[in-house]
Amino acid sequence: MSSANNRSPSTEIAEQITRTIEEGSTAALVTVIRAETNVGAKLLVEETGLSYGSLGPQDLDEAVAQRAGAFVESREDIAVVGVKEFAPGLTAFADAQLLFERIQREPRLVICGAGHVGAALANLASLLGHQSTLIDDRPEFVTREHFPDQRIELVAATDWVDAVRSAVADGHGVSVAVVTRGHSEDEACMRAVMSTGADYVGLIGSKRRTRIVLERLREAGADEESLNKVRAPIGLDIGAVTPEEVALAIMAESVATRRGGEGVPLSIKRRTVRD
Strands 174-178 and 108-112: parallel
Tell which CATH classification among 3.40.50.720, 3.30.750.24, 3.90.420.10, 3.90.1300.10 matches the domain 108-259.
3.40.50.720
User: How confident is the model over 136-164, as pLDDT tens digits?
Assistant: 999 999 999 999 999 999 999 999 999 99
Cα four-point dihedral sign 52, 58, 64, 67: positive
**Helix, strand or coil, per DSSP, at residue 79:** strand
- What was the pLDDT predicted at 74? 82
Q: Are 56 and 45 in contact (CB under 8 A)?
A: no
Integer Cα distance of 77 and 32 in angstroms: 17
> Residue ranges of the domains in the chain?
9-103, 108-259
Q: Are 8 and 15 in contact (CB under 8 A)?
A: no
Give mean pLDDT, residues 170-196: 91
For helices 183-194 and 207-219, give the axis angle rounded to 10 degrees.
Answer: 50
Provide the H-helix boundaries in 56-115. Answer: 58-74, 83-86
Give mean pLDDT, residues 69-76: 86
Give the CA dihedral 74, 103, 40, 14, nearest 10 degrees: 160
pTM, entire model: 0.77
Integer Cα distance of 105 and 225 in angstroms: 25
pLDDT of 80 above 60: yes
Give mean pLDDT, residues 188-214: 91
- What was the pLDDT predicted at 6? 60
On average, the pLDDT of the chain sits at 90
Q: Are 96 and 223 in contact (CB under 8 A)?
A: no
- What was the pLDDT predicted at 2? 45
